[in-house]
Amino acid sequence: MDTNAILKHIEEKRNCGVVHLLVIDRSENVSWEQSIIEKSKEIAFFSWHSIWFYRKNKKDTLQQPVSIEEMRPLFKEINDQKTALAILAQLLHKNMANGSESMPIENANELALSFISLFDKDSKYYSNSTWNKNEFTNNKATFDLGLSAWNGLTEATFDSGIIVVDNNKIGIAWFEEED
């Protein structure tokens, strides 16, 4: 399944928020962060809200482009593919604003695996969010990871996602929701 087919399935199954799903070519001999900055027109939904909030009292810097130094602290590396799959499935399955089901867990797991499978096994994974074991979960929880904090990258009240980086491409699965 390609990116467009995965996105179509997500939009058919998920009943809340806005989903961004894309795969971009990774620029040769540059970091993934620089590749994202270079492709900013393709990733226009990243408004870099956290950076603009930080800069708001520094009027002379508001119009400057986002730098790698500003961008790096916004992302946390995810340890392994299994954790990245769990996070992506959780974002597909549950509404960030109120924890209600956005799509059945079976569909969420299938679509998360379809997206992650587009990349090499030795890929690196990043998120703007902190996911802690047993955070905001209960006995009926499908995952033992819970979203506890995030750096807003869009104008939405809630946003989170994962970035997958391999040697040739970068994948972005991003979710925006309002309460």
Q: What's the rounded Cα separation, in Å, for the pair 174 and 74?
A: 14
Ordered strands of the 158-165 beta sheet: 18-25, 169-177, 158-165, 124-127, 76-78
pLDDT tens per residue across span 23-43:
999 888 889 999 888 887 788
170 alpha-carbon distance from chain centroid? 12
Q: Where are the domains of the chain?
A: 3-57+72-177
136 pLDDT higher than 90:
no
State the pLDDT at residue 65.
Answer: 73
Kindly tell me if the per-residue pLDDT of 135 is higher than 70: no
Residue with more model confidence, 116 or 65: 116
Residue 139 has pLDDT above 50, yes or no: no
